[in-house]
């Protein structure tokens, strides 16, 4: 089990929500979205960790939006923590970024493309913060043990493993639901990323997506058994500056979470 403040993830506890816009676009949108998700999760009694990347270092094209500036974005995430009293997750891309990001984030996320980067995993592990390792699109679930072992070698056992789809041909992803069972056997909580799993990678100069599959994949993963559900959520996905075609509309979040909670109750019998 992993504990983040008062939130417990794993050991058959009710699922935790990790959610928020793909990237920090501006303070107003981030704070309002975080506040609305907190309101929804409080009403449904679902533990909530806010997610947003303070920068995007792995865009398809070099001409697309990468962020508003590291310090400004991290400052906004800090305000989310202070004003709303909720933990925060954000991505780190290099070992040099880890120290600055760890001063704000409760959870450091290793992007899927970087899940084999030894120096990055070690640097994140040494902070003692929770490390969420996203499974690379190119990896079998069995291979995630090696990534987790790198973090474990630092003495940090606070590890989450996230499924986000596997490359199927050049421009598609599929989710093998067996991966949750396989990765849980390593002794760490497992997370379903239901939004990146619907991406269509590298379509033209940006990634596309099929958002109609977000809800079915989330429900299916909950039925298999997950410890946390990861969703990128935006008040107006069509206007999002990153992952516009694979984020969930904020107005659709409450109904989906209510469904997932019912499935989670059946599976975990609470």
3-state class of 209 per DSSP?
A: strand
Strand, helix or coil for residue 86: coil
The domain of 264 spans 2-268
Please give the average per-residue pLDDT across 83-90, as a whole number: 98
Does the pLDDT at position 62 exceed 70?
A: no
pLDDT of residue 154: 98
Query: Which CATH number characterizes residue 75's domain?
Result: 3.20.20.70
Q: What is the pLDDT of residue 34?
A: 98
DSSP 171: S
Tell me the pTM: 0.96
**What domain count does the chain have?**
1
| CA pair distance 104, 185, nearest whole angstrom | 31
Number of other CB atoms surrounding residue 140 within 10 Å: 12
What is the distance between the alpha carbons of residues 165 and 138, in angstroms, rounded to a whole number?
9
For 169-184, what is the mean pLDDT?
95
Tokens 């933990």 sit at which residue?
Answer: 87
**What stretches of 18-69 show up as alpha helix (H) in DSSP?**
27-44
> What tens digit of pLDDT does each residue of 9-48 get?
999 999 999 999 999 999 999 999 999 999 999 999 999 9
pLDDT (0 to 100) of residue 255: 98
């Amino acid at each position: 089990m992993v504990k983040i403040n008062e939130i417990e993830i794993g050991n058959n506890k009710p699922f935790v929500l990790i959610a928020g816009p793909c990237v920090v676009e501006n303070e107003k949108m981030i704070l309002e979205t975080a506040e609305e998700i907190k309101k929804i999760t409080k009403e449904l009694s679902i533990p909530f960790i806010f997610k947003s990347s303070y920068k995007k270092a792995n865009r398809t094209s070099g001409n697309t939006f990468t962020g508003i500036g590291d310090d400004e974005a991290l400052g906004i995430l800090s305000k989310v923590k202070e004003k709303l009293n909720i933990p925060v997750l954000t991505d780190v891309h290099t070992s040099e970024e880890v120290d600055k990001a760890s001063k704000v984030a409760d959870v450091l996320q290793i992007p899927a493309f970087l899940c084999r980067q030894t120096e990055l995993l070690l640097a994140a592990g040494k902070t003692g913060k929770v490390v969420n390792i996203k499974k690379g699109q190119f990896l079998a679930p069995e291979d995630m043990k090696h990534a987790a072992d790198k973090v474990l070698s630092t003495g940090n056992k606070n590890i989450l493993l996230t499924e986000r789809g596997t490359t199927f041909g050049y421009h598609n992803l599929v989710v093998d639901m067996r991966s949750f069972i396989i990765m849980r056997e390593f002794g760490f909580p497992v997370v379903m990323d239901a939004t990146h799993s619907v991406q269509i990678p590298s379509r033209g100069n940006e990634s596309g997506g099929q958002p109609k599959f977000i809800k079915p994949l989330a429900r299916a993963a909950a039925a298999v058994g997950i410890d946390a559900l990861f969703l990128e959520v935006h008040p107006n996905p069509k206007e999002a500056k990153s992952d516009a075609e694979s984020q969930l509309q904020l107005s659709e979040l409450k109904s989906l979470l209510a469904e997932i909670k019912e499935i989670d109750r059946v599976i975990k019998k609470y």
